[in-house]
């Protein structure tokens, strides 16, 4: 589907590429494209790490093995500098987040009309016009919030593990405004609870919205470039602009994976600390 072939022009082209493939299950719909791509790249990341771990030797490593070792050491150093408790779970979690988010973000570098072109070649343009499939799971707010909510549950778990159920409850009502008298503690209980709830809830919101916003904006720029430069007269300009944006977007892809990983470790470290 191209802007020239669609009656709505550029607007319909962008709307088509922003529409998810929704599957209905028991009356509820979920984004099948985000789910299947996230699952596929997650399994791919696990497979690549597993294959290189099996080949690990004491001798000179191969280039893929050296790259994997460099990533593992980099992530482990970040966790070591931030989280000062038992890292046996946190370090693998951080590595999983970094690799998974990077692979999901990297799907934005694939040709935008790859799926539409494949469907057009096999089933015709009419089938492609009515088929929706988005390739970037992290440009779907459902994916990023699912990940951030999982991190939020881990924050609650580590808070209870470090402080106990009563300790966490007491902290919610007695910090950050501390008081010594009983009456003052009662007066400050509601403001303390409100501020703590805002602090806790802002963490998954900021994690999910930051990743979604950056990847959605990057995907939209690719769509605008494709929509504006798909004619035969402007195709060369489209290739040039796509290449420039893709080179810059690689930095965004890496940076967003790194930020999501680091903030996850920081939030878990904060939850692990005693107050």
pLDDT, one tens digit per residue, over 144-170 is: 999 999 999 999 999 998 888 998 999
The pTM (predicted TM-score) of the whole model is 0.89
Q: 226 an active-site residue?
A: no
Residue 186 pLDDT > 80, yes or no? yes
Distance CA(87)–CA(83), nearest Å, equals 7
Dihedral of CA atoms 72, 42, 108, 265 in degrees, nearest 10, equals -50
Please tell me the least confidently modeled range out of 91-100, 149-158, 189-198, 237-246.
237-246
At residue 7 the predicted structure's pLDDT band, cuts being 50, 70 and 90, is: very low
Instruction: Check whether 4 has a pLDDT greater than 50.
Output: no
Q: Is 210 a catalytic residue?
A: yes
Which uninterrupted H or E stretch holds 22? Answer: strand 22-25
Q: Which of 229, 218, 216 is nearest to 2 (CA)?
A: 229
**Residue 8: predicted pLDDT:** 56
Burial class (CB in 10 A: 0-12, 13-18, 19+), 268: buried
Q: Which of 62, 117, 202, 206 is catalytic?
A: 206
Distances (CA, A) of 32 to 42, 133, 134, 225: 15, 8, 9, 26
Say what the pLDDT of residue 3 is: 41
Is a pLDDT exceeding 50 seen at residue 268?
yes
The 10s digit of each residue's pLDDT in 86-103 is: 889 999 999 999 999 999
232/100: higher pLDDT: 100
The DSSP element (H or E) to which 25 belongs, if any, is strand 22-25
Q: What is the pLDDT of residue 274?
A: 57
The more confident residue out of 104 and 30 is: 104
CA distance 3 to 17: 11
6, 150, 196, 210: the catalytic one is 210
Catalytic pick among 34, 105, 116, 214 = 214
Entry field: residues in the chain: 275
Q: Residue 5: its pLDDT value, please?
A: 46
**Residue-wise pLDDT tens digits, 207-227:** 999 999 999 999 999 888 887
Percent of the chain with pLDDT over 70: 95
pLDDT, average across residues 2-13: 61
């Amino acid at each position: 589907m191209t802007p020239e072939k669609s009656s709505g022009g550029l607007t319909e082209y962008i709307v088509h590429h922003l529409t998810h493939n929704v599957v209905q299950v028991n009356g509820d719909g979920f984004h099948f494209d985000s789910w299947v791509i996230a699952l596929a790249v997650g399994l791919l990341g696990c497979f690549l790490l597993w294959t290189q771990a099996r080949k690990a030797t004491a001798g000179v490593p191969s280039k893929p093995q050296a790259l994997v070792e460099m990533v593992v050491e980099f992530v482990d150093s970040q966790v070591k500098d931030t989280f000062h408790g038992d890292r046996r779970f946190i370090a693998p979690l951080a590595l999983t987040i970094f690799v998974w988010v990077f692979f999901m973000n990297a799907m934005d570098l694939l040709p935008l009309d790859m799926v539409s072109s494949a469907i057009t070649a096999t089933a015709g343009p009419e089938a492609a016009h009515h088929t929706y499939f988005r390739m970037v799971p992290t440009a779907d707010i459902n994916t990023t919030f699912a990940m951030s909510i999982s991190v939020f549950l881990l924050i609650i778990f580590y808070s209870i593990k470090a402080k106990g159920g009563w300790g966490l409850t007491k902290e919610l009502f007695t910090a950050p405004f501390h008081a010594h008298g009983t009456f003052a503690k009662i007066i400050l209980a509601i403001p303390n609870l409100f501020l703590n709830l805002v602090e806790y809830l802002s963490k998954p919101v900021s994690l999910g919205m930051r990743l979604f916003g950056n990847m959605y904006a990057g995907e939209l720029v690719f769509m605008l470039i494709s929509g504006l430069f798909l004619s035969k007269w402007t195709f060369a300009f489209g290739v040039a602009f796509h290449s420039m944006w893709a080179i810059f977007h690689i930095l965004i892809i890496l940076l967003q994976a790194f930020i999501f990983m680091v903030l996850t470790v920081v939030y878990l470290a904060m939850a692990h600390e005693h107050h």
